[in-house]
Amino acid sequence: MDDELWTTDRQTEQLRSVRADGQAVWSDSAAREVGARWLDPHDALAGRVVDASRRQSGALATARRAQAEAEAEAEVALARASDVVGWVARVEEGVARCVEACAHADDAAGRAERARGLAQDATRRARHALDRAR
């Protein structure tokens, strides 16, 4: 786009130069009418087009830089998201092990409670037997 801008700018300058040279030779009412109807508006429009094209080119360059930065940040975000997914998987594994350990502990507590009940029964029977033996 910069090459096209440069070419358009040069062509506009050449047209202005040719026009200036022509005014020394051709300066009657027809020349003024041609200038007023076509050449003056063309000259004004060409300058605005070149300026607008330069601004557009600058905006495109800024947008390209912003896009490159956004793509780089997206790559970093994806890498971090992958890390988080790994951490979540490890936490889920830990939770599953904890649930399993709780189930084992619950079973052990049940067995201990039954053993306590049996021990209490045995203690009562032993006391009863001891009391009868005295």
Read off the amino acid at residue 104. Answer: H
Residues 97-116 have a mean pLDDT of: 96
Residue 4 above 90 pLDDT? no
What does the pLDDT read at residue 13? 86
Residue 3 above 80 pLDDT? yes
Residues 96-109 have a mean pLDDT of: 97
Domains held by the chain: number: 1
List, for residues 39-51, the tens digit of each pLDDT value: 888 888 888 888 8
Q: String of b and e for 16-29 (b: at least 16 CB within 10 Å)?
A: eeebeeeeeeeeee
The two counts, helices (H) then strands (E), for the chain are 3, 0
Residue 27 above 80 pLDDT? no
**Burial of residue 12, with CB atoms counted within 10 A of its CB: 0-12 exposed, 13-18 middle, 19 or more buried:** middle
Query: What is the pTM (predicted TM-score) of this model?
Result: 0.53
Angle made by CA atoms 6, 10, 12, in degrees to the nearest 5: 120
Residue 64 above 90 pLDDT? yes
What does the pLDDT read at residue 87? 97
| CA 14 – CA 8 distance, rounded (Å) | 10
More confident residue, 98 or 131: 98
What does the pLDDT read at residue 22? 78
Structural domain harbouring 87: 2-133
Residue 128 above 90 pLDDT? yes
Confidence band, pLDDT 50/70/90 cuts, at residue 134: confident
Tracing tokens 């793509």 back to the chain, one arrives at 71
